[in-house]
Structure 1
């Protein structure tokens, strides 16, 4: 791509003209914010004693406000009794930092630290249930979802990740956007490793951690021309190795025609979805996510 034209995944998610759920509001004073994140969210007027929380991360070039309109999580929040939070990063063409040591270190002062502080705020202010904290995202937001699961595995119970890359794939890159990244092997599907090698990337992010990692849903379309479909296999290699799970079976036309569900272990910890003919990004399947989150 020419240097004077922004690569396509900075523009891949346009602002939805109508909200798919409840309107979100701006939230300030939620805690230490080392990278200048912004936050929107929807807090139901009536919450259970210990509500759940969904942290939803936008793609490159987007914002939390836009992503709230492109998903339907808020439409289910009142009935489900959970909080939905949509942070925004304003740095590096609005792409989440998945490359620097600060963000790839627990409490290192990067975007991941700010996102962790948002969850700490929700727990403190709304008595959020530690067993019902979830993270999801699309494209750059999916990459950051994988980073959050690696950096704060004890914080999140489950995740759902749409059209991204494995945790650590861009570690040490010159940036996290297609404009600043420099080495584009991850984006192009040329960063191929064994499961054990990918697991080391996760372990390097939070060394010495011996606990469990969140449940994972991994989605990718085989017609993705922005972030290579190869990254579905690489991400599944990574988390199956981390979790010590083996591939069990495929189930075709699930959850809809053209999608293949890829089961690891007994299907309660790691599931992939390959979407035939789908480009960048796989549409958010809110209902599947909420079932996975038990919300």
Structure 2
């Protein structure tokens, strides 16, 4: 069921991005209880020391497909970082994001194999341990959430495209319909406690987290976006009210909400499953967009990537429709000036104080 539900995404139909080199498989990289495969892209010229990005494919995908279907490798040629593309052992190409082992620090599952890859790269490639990042799409986005919770000691930031909160798929089966359809609702405290349970007793810094979701996602419903906000604002102890909320950022119809320097949520109006990867934006979030081969770390910054000034931060709505807003469109919320009724047979349902949607 998971294979079928997530097979509609996908990047295989997109054009390949031409990196200068090829993937190299690495074996015997450390503890790997589930048989995850490790593929590495090392550009000819590296930053000194090089950062590391873990880039994780979607269900039905492979390391090779994510390598050729996203820009992380060819941008590595420009910026000098290393990319590891793990390959999921599941026959359907999905990641284990549901077992207690994978959700717990050093306990097993696919996440332990990926953590082993990070440790291997730090030891063998001279990777800068203070600049290790994770990103992924769909199932890979779910694993990005898992890594942020179970291995906060290894990662400095993550960016997830069309995933679900940490622990949302927890259970005996690979597929969790309650979570997928947005029916698993928890309080911020409950979601935050799940993240904290990933590494009991951990008191160090947490990786900052950015997540993307489409309002027309019928595979992993948009409610997961709002649950993600509850979870990660609680982890960082900040308000669920955005500090800034910019529109048409980074693309028309996208809205970027920043909850301080550590949590950023991008909602893509009318976009289904999945939100297309925005690699340059991700590199901005990771703080390595200006990196060049041979260069060292740039001075830290807490300014979120945004082309829209704070004065444009109020929500901008499309003109009202005489027939009502369409299915999945916004229909209300603080600052909303567009249509507040929905075209039949849909009704305007409150998601939170800032967003109501025609469902």
TM norm structure 1: 0.92
* Partner residue in 1 for 2:25: 27
- 1: CA distance, partners of 2:26 / 2:283: 27
Tell whether the 8 Å contact from 2:55 to 2:85 is kept in structure 1 after alignment.
yes
Residues 228-281 of structure 1: CA deviation (Å, up to 9, x unaligned): 00000101110000001122231111111100011102xx21110000010000
- Structure 1 stretches of 5 or more lacking a match? none
* Partner residue in 1 for 2:352: none
Tell whether the 8 Å contact from 1:138 to 1:163 is kept in structure 2 after alignment.
yes
Which structure is richer in relative contact order (CA contacts within 8 A, separation 6 or more)?
A: 1
* Partner residue in 1 for 2:355: none
* Partner residue in 2 for 1:57: 56
Q: How many residues align?
A: 284
1:169 aligns with 2:168: yes
* Partner residue in 2 for 1:190: 183
1:243 aligns with 2:236: yes
1:203 to 177, 183, 196: 196
1:294 aligns with 2:292: no
- 1: CA distance, partners of 2:87 / 2:173: 17
* Partner residue in 2 for 1:149: 148
How far apart are 1:11 and its partner, in Å? 4.3
How far apart are 1:17 and its partner, in Å? 6.1
Q: 1:162 to 1:73 in 2, by over 3 A?
A: same
- Structure 2 stretches of 5 or more lacking a match? 289-359
TM norm structure 2: 0.76
- 1: CA distance, partners of 2:39 / 2:188: 36
2:254 to 247, 253, 259: 259
Q: 1:11 to 1:223 in 2, by over 3 A?
A: closer
SS in 2 for 1:198: helix
* Partner residue in 2 for 1:73: 72
How far apart are 1:12 and its partner, in Å? 2.2
- 1: CA distance, partners of 2:287 / 2:198: 28
* Partner residue in 1 for 2:271: 278
* Partner residue in 2 for 1:115: 114
SS in 1 for 2:38: strand
Cα RMSD, aligned residues only: 1.6
Tell whether the 8 Å contact from 2:53 to 2:134 is kept in structure 1 after alignment.
yes
Q: Which contiguous aligned blocks of 4+ residues in structure 1 show a shift greater than 3 angstroms?
A: none
